[in-house]
Amino acid sequence: MINIRVYITGMGVVSPAGCGVRSLKTWIKQGKRKIRPLSLFTVSPNNLLPVGEVSESFEALEIPRTHQLALSATQEAMADAQAPPDAVIVGVTTGGMLTTEMHLKNSVSDPEAFTYHALGSVAEYIAGKYHCKGPVITVSNACSSGTAAIKIALEMLRSGQAGRVLAGGVDSLCRLTYYGFKSLQLIDPAGARPLDQNRRGMSVGEAAAMFLLVAEEIAPGNAIVEVLGGGLSCDAYHPTTPHPDGEGALNAMRAAIRDAGILTSDIDYINLHGTGTLDNDLSEAKALNALFGNNRPPLSSVKGAFGHSLAAAGAVEVAISAISITEGVIPANTGCQTPDPKLGIDPVMAPTEKEVRIVLSNSFGFGGNNAALVMGISGEKKPSPSKKIPPLTIEGSACITGAGNMKKTLENISSGKDCKGVLSLSEISKSLKPAEIRRLKRLPRMALSLALAAFQNGNLQETPSSVFWGTGWGPLSETYDFLKKLYESDEQFGSPTDFIGSVHNAPAGQVAVHFGAKGPNVTTTGGDYSFEQALLAASLLADKIDAAFLVIGADESHEAFSPLFDRSVTGDEVRSDGGGAICLKRSGVSYGIKIYPVFFENTDDNPSIIPSLVSILGNSQVIEQQFGAILAGIPAAYRQEGEKQLHEFLSLSDFHQPVIDYRRLTGEFASASAVATALAVEFIRSGEMPASLCGGDGYSLDGKGILILGFGKFVTAIEITS
């Protein structure tokens, strides 16, 4: 395929307007307010606030509410699909949290009860239901997650790595977000009133929207709209407050418009992020005024009707934008009575019939994460030429293990010791400024320390412009402390500081602020394969990044939560945590150490997965010639299955060089593959493997690279070559 267009051919929605696209169409033409008192769980009268709650009941399944919402939306999106998706990419921030909260409140200690706690379990559940054998990626970019997921899907399709991608966003209401936003005093007791001069905050909501996106040269007969382009940026300003001048929002919109190959004058409608908070609405308005001047197209926010459904919000608004195009109607800025004159923009106050050919849709979130998408009628722009994923050059690397930093980790390995354990907080924080980390707990400190070490190791003159962050479980300390205080106070008090820090992308936001990194900032979370997801996302977006960027993976060990959530943790007597980071540049030269994520497939119903891996890598002769060693990651929870997969790979590839089962060294934690990657870089730089890993004899790599393989629920491969 030479010239690629990306179309939405299937669309499914669950929202406070009802289940299905038809319900959403009816709402757009009526504009009625759907925010109402919370009924999903019980709160005290003084805590009762209006929410955007889905009223429909779901089939009694042994899965959490977020998964149920996602499944319902997916069933509609895939109703007419003739084949499984090649990949699934979902934006999520709550995962199974509502169910987890209930279990924690009832002191449930059986890990099986928390099977669906992980954010990544939503996308994995959907992938299993719809027989997806390819990559499964979970994006957790706070309130821009769903939009960012669709942008990554767009780039995957443009690259030719997939022909059909199921993408979207979903979140359910839960205590963590309900009380969390309340603790920040960001909730309007009267319900969200976006752009209103008397607005006092947002309303928390829930929803799901899923889309089947396909890559074609011409529009298929079932095309709904074309995804013309997308843009990602980061404020690099503050953990929660948007840039006061809307700088990050402006950059995301400009990137989306540039990517779509259109002019600002081509846009017929803007679907605003418009949460109803004082700072957010003002920041977005300033960005719009800077971009459009006095030539603004009609614009509105729908969050006054539905509330803010967090990761789902941007995805639902993509569906609304598509309906706006196909039905020729602009939705009302529900909830607004008197537009704030200080904003300098006039929202559409009632549903309005109008021809709409191109829509710009905005989503912004905690951590300064901004995303924008442009959708339109097919043929509104030139098709995008197919692109190749550029080779990435590693400039610097770093790791943290129970032994310490990279130097101490290598010393342990060289002396035949493992690197298991939990490093002290003071040791992790040694290179960080006290003022910068005063309120930060374990995981964000780890992320900052890794980022700084990888950057310094690269001896770069320019600071990183973008951050890609993979974490299996996110900030466990902050989540635990928030819920503990909430329950101890009989759900009267939640710590705003802990809530801010509990979101999975909070550490990435801290790294961005430290470096002033205003490019794409993407957090992925898929258990043992989170770092691989971050690296894949980075490779898909790298052609839009001119400067250096960071790919980081880390997870913390938590005494209470880790054994409940991560089944691999109980497979080792030693508690361990840590992570790794690499500083990369898009390569324009032939020399240097290169990294490439070459394989990522789901093992479900995929008996030929190992032969496929060998085929992608070449034949046995190519593998032997290119790689001097293999670092194999087998999580303890999948040890039996993973060892069989490794044995099959070695048999089919006839590989006879050193094979290192690296979790025996690092201990059990989700981001161990990030450590393995950083170590592989150092081995290649030195030109040899430590004798302790090769039966006591020194082993020269002879200029060959190292292959990092992951086994278990997914099989992954990362090539690192010199």
Q: Which value, to the nearest 10 degrees, does the dihedral of the CA atoms of residues 180, 239, 311, 40 take?
A: 0
Give the pLDDT confidence score for residue 87 in this predicted structure. 98
> Which residues on neighbouring strands pair with residue 92, listed in sequence order?
170
Helix (H) / strand (E) element for 128: namely helix 120-129
Lowest pLDDT segment from 217-226, 323-332, 430-439, 581-590: 581-590
Q: What DSSP assignment string belongs to 586-650?
A: E--SS-SEEEEEEEEEE-TT-TTHHHHHHHHH--HHHHHHHEEEEEEE--GGGHHHHHHHHHHHH
| Residue 656 CB coordination number (10 Å) | 9
Residue-wise pLDDT for 298-332, tens only, equals 999 999 999 999 999 999 999 999 999 999 999 99
321 phi/psi in degrees, rounded to 5: -65, -40
- Split at pLDDT 50, 70, 90, the class of 1 is low
Task: Tell me what pLDDT residue 619 has.
Answer: 86
235-292 confidence digits (pLDDT tens): 999 988 999 999 999 999 999 999 999 999 999 999 999 999 999 999 999 999 999 9
Segment 691-712 shows an average pLDDT of 91
Q: Where in the chain is the domain with CATH 3.40.47.10?
A: 3-385, 392-721
Contacts for 249 with CB less than 8 Å, ≥ 6 apart: 233, 242, 243, 273, 283, 284, 287, 362, 364, 370, 372
Q: Which residues of 13-32 are buried (b: 16+ CB within 10 A; e: fewer)?
A: bbbbbbbbbebbbebbeebe
| Cβ proximity of 14 and 5 under 8 Å | no
pLDDT digits (tens, 9 = 90+) for 154-174: 999 999 999 999 999 999 999
Taking the CB of residue 110, how many other CB atoms lie within 10 A of it?
9
386-399: average pLDDT: 88
Q: Letter for the amino acid at 22?
A: R
Task: Using the predicted structure, report yes or no on whether residue 710 has a pLDDT greater than 90.
Answer: yes
pLDDT of amino acid 339? 97
The band of 387, judged by pLDDT with boundaries at 50, 70 and 90, is confident
In this prediction, residue 459 carries a pLDDT of 84
* Confidence band of 90 (pLDDT split at 50, 70, 90): very high
- Mean pLDDT (the chain, rounded): 95
pLDDT at 93: 98
CA distance 365 to 475: 17
The CATH number of 3-385, from 3.30.560.10, 1.10.10.10, 3.30.750.24, 3.40.47.10, is: 3.40.47.10
Q: Rounded CA gap, 574 and 589, in Å?
A: 43
Is the model's pLDDT at 45 over the cut of 90? no
Instruction: Determine the residue type at 498.
Output: D
Count CB neighbours of 711 within 10 A: 25
User: What integer pLDDT is reported at residue 586 of this predicted model?
Assistant: 87
* Mean pLDDT computed over 201-216: 98
pLDDT of residue 47: 85
Q: Which two tokens stand for residue 237?
A: 């300003």
pLDDT at 590: 64
Q: Would you say 213 and 168 are in contact if contact means Cβ atoms under 8 Å apart?
A: no
pLDDT digits (tens, 9 = 90+) for 358-376: 999 999 998 899 999 999 9
9 in Cβ contact with 378 (< 8 Å): no
Could you tell me the fold of the domain covering 392-721? Answer: Peroxisomal Thiolase; Chain A, domain 1 (3.40.47)
The confidence score (pLDDT) of residue 589 equals: 64
